[in-house]
Amino acid sequence: MRIGCLYHSHTGNTDSVLKTLQAKLIDHTVVLAQIKAKTSDPSVADVTLTEVPSLEGYDAVIFASPVHGFNLPHVTQVFLAQLSELPDVPVMLLITHYFPFKWLGGHQGIKGFKKVLEPLGANIVLTQSIEWRSKHRTREIARFIDAVKKRLMADAHDDH
């Protein structure tokens, strides 16, 4: 399967999770497509995107982002706002955050994704929030990767 990871990463944490996923999913083609802007400064609300990844050509899509100010960062919000339709593929959501409780940003990030993607008909099959400061971070990343693998296996099985 061809999996598109469309993501924003301000500090590199989200990027590192997706690179780990890419390295572990050796039976699949995992494309990392970063959303980039002139500035990724979280305090700048007027964002101009410089790289806008396409959603075309994937069997599954992972949207991933950090959390800034208890919500999706402006770069991610601007990217999502320009979407008008989604391909009919499974969608997975990944949030990375710094605060020790998911309710301090992780849940809001997932809700932010869903608020935009669900009205577009997204088939959201998996959500994961990873707390970066947690002593269990490595285990959370492994759990996310295992969940993605299981989801892809189930989808491949359903296609046969």
Q: Which of 57, 60, 52 is nearest to 80 (CA)?
A: 52
pLDDT in tens, the chain (160 residues): 999 999 999 888 999 999 999 999 999 999 999 999 998 777 777 899 999 999 999 999 999 999 987 789 999 999 999 999 999 999 999 999 876 555 556 788 899 999 999 999 999 999 999 988 888 899 999 999 999 999 988 876 665 4
The ranges assigned to domains in the chain are: 2-159
Superfamily the domain 2-159 falls into: Flavodoxin domain (3.40.50.360)
pTM listed for this prediction: 0.92
